Structure 1
Amino acid sequence: MPLWQLFTPENAYTSEEKADMARKIVDLYSSDFSQENFGFVLPKFYTSVIFHEIKAESFFVGGEPRDQFVQIEVVHIARTVETSAAKLGITPEETLRRYFEQMDNVLKPYIADRGYELEFHAEPAPFETWRIDGMVPPEPWSEDELRWGKDNKSSPYGQYARA
């Protein structure tokens, strides 16, 4: 799971723009780019994107109301910076550089190019605290995870189940 929560001004994006942004966010984790730069391709259904539209009088930054501000919180649990870096033989710092560079590319047309200010943070969560449909997700890079990715949904484990 990456879980993206975007706190945006009310009516900042159309339904089509939200869907387009969500697809591009999913591709950060589930594409040839993610394989080449992070050493993995997550099942698409692992990534959730939620838009929270906030009225101008309910969005404060530094105690002041803001109507041109986007706050993004991301929780990463399916992979860590360290495991991705180790898989590719690069440093965690290089992994983060690649991540933030691509994240900036994805968000720029929706945020910076529209004059919105942005605060973004991503935080890791322990893999062992994660469940999908009541199951512990398959081991990263396992046959079961590959099957979940191909099917784009969870399903009972095969012979590669986690203990």
Structure 2
Amino acid sequence: MPLWQLLTPENAFTPEEKADIATKITNIYSSDWSRENFGFELPKFYTSVVFHEVKADSFFVGGEPRDNFVQIEVVHIARTNEQAAALAGITVEEILRRYFENVNSILKPYTIDRGLEVEFHVETAPFETWQIDAMVPPEPYSEEERRWYTENRSSPYGAYVTA
């Protein structure tokens, strides 16, 4: 899982723009770019992107109502920065530099270039706290995870199926 939650002003993005942003976010983790820069590709269905439109009178920054602010919260579980750095043979700092550079290039045309202010943060949650369809996801880089990647869905496997 990467779970992206974007709190946005109402009507900040069209449905087509939301779909485009979601596809580009998914590709951060599930594309040739992710393999080349991070050393892995996650199954596409691991990535969720949720847009929460907030009315101007319900979004406050510094105690003041704000109608031009985007707050983005990301939770990573499927991989850690340390795992990615080890796979790519680079430092965690370099992983983060590449990650934020890519994220900023994706978001900027939809946010900063339109006069929207953006705050972004990433949290990492422990892998063992995660389930999909009542199953513990396959171990990273395992044959089962590769099958999930190819099929782009979860499916039962081995001892990890829960009742």
Identify whether the pair has TM-score above 0.5, normalized to the shorter chain: yes
**Cα distance between partner residues in 2 of 1:130 and 1:26:** 19
SS across alignment from 1:133:
coil
Aligned to 1:113: 113
Q: CA deviation at 1:129?
A: 0.2
Alignment of 1:73-152 (within 5 A): 73-152=73-152
Q: CA deviation at 1:6?
A: 0.1
Q: CA deviation at 1:162?
A: 5.7
Aligned to 2:67: 67
**Cα distance between partner residues in 2 of 1:148 and 1:116:** 37
Q: Which runs of 4+ in 1 moved over 2 A?
A: none
**Cα distance between partner residues in 2 of 1:38 and 1:87:** 7
TM-superposition CA deviations, 1:119-139 (whole Å, max 9, x none)? 000010000000000000001
Alignment of 1:27-38 (within 5 A): 27-38=27-38
Aligned to 2:6: 6
Alignment of 1:46-65 (within 5 A): 46-65=46-65
- Note the residue ranges of structure 2 that are not aligned, 5 or more in a row: none
Q: How many percent of aligned residue pairs carry the same amino acid?
A: 73
**Cα distance between partner residues in 2 of 1:19 and 1:150:** 22
- Change over 3 Å in CA distance of 1:94–1:162 after alignment to 2: farther
SS across alignment from 1:108:
helix
**Cα distance between partner residues in 1 of 2:127 and 2:61:** 32
**Cα distance between partner residues in 1 of 2:90 and 2:5:** 29
Q: CA deviation at 1:77?
A: 0.2
Q: CA deviation at 1:88?
A: 1.4
8 Å CA contact 1:139–1:162 kept in 2: the answer is no
**Cα distance between partner residues in 2 of 1:36 and 1:80:** 16
TM-superposition CA deviations, 1:37-89 (whole Å, max 9, x none)? 01100000000000000000000001011100000000000000001001111
8 Å CA contact 2:135–2:160 kept in 1: the answer is no
8 Å CA contact 1:130–1:137 kept in 2: the answer is yes
Q: What RMSD in Å do the two structures reach over aligned CA positions?
A: 1.2
